Structure 1
């Protein structure tokens, strides 16, 4: 399987997440006003809010089918090392590692196993799906 497919699937999901963040920001901005960025505590709360939305989006798909819309488009699936769907614990672990390795997790795609660093630590893998 090509590391580029994994990269493009994640970019596809990022585009969807940006749209979701945009819509999710509307009530927050209406509630706090446009100057909410001038208040450090409110800015921090907004960042936590966006991370929570990201958590719900990703873990929902990981647990339900192992396929986010991006993974489904590229015919990929996220599974455990035993080829089973992720449990809530596995999804939480992978999400934490995804946050921790956000900037360097991609390095794993260029190693022989072509596996994201967060997948190595969370004991998960992305596999190709033949039929959907």
Structure 2
């Protein structure tokens, strides 16, 4: 199988990051009129809202298109270890473990340097792989 390098993965993440930021800006419009300075509950609610929108973005693209727009640009396809399409459960696990890895300074991504199949921690846990198209 033709696995992708960490650099190609990071390039597609950058593309997707820019797309997600644009989506989040648009989805923030309803909150522009609120005063967030003193309303901690609203701040937390908005953070959860952003997290869920971001999760939906990735999960939907992974399940329905086998890749996000950034992944398509860099000719990357996501598959299950058994060569089937991802389930929603796998995609949600993959997203949440990837976020967890990022919160710990990207340690889950660094293991791909030491594996022949170039899998990151979230790929291993969700039983997925990224391949070149």
Same fold per superposition (TM over 0.5): yes
Alpha-carbon distance, 1:106 to partner: 2.3
CA 1:37–1:127 in 2, change beyond 3 Å: closer, same or farther? Answer: farther
Partner of 1:77: 77
Alpha-carbon distance, 1:6 to partner: 0.7
- What stretches of structure 1 of length at least 5 have no aligned partner? none
- What stretches of structure 2 of length at least 5 have no aligned partner? none
Moved more, 92-101 or 118-127: 92-101
Q: TM-score, normalised by structure 2?
A: 0.87
Per-residue CA deviation, residues 74-122 of structure 1 (Å, 9 max, x unaligned), is 0001111112210111111112212221232321332233222111111
Per-residue CA deviation, residues 54-93 of structure 1 (Å, 9 max, x unaligned), is 1111111111021100000000011111122101111111
SS at match of 1:36: coil
**2:125 counterpart (121, 129, 132):** 121
Count of aligned pairs: 126
What RMSD, in angstroms, separates the aligned Cα atoms of the two structures? 1.4
SS at match of 2:131: strand
Partner of 2:114: 111
Q: Larger RCO: Structure 1 or Structure 2 (Cα < 8 Å, ≥ 6 residues apart)?
A: 2
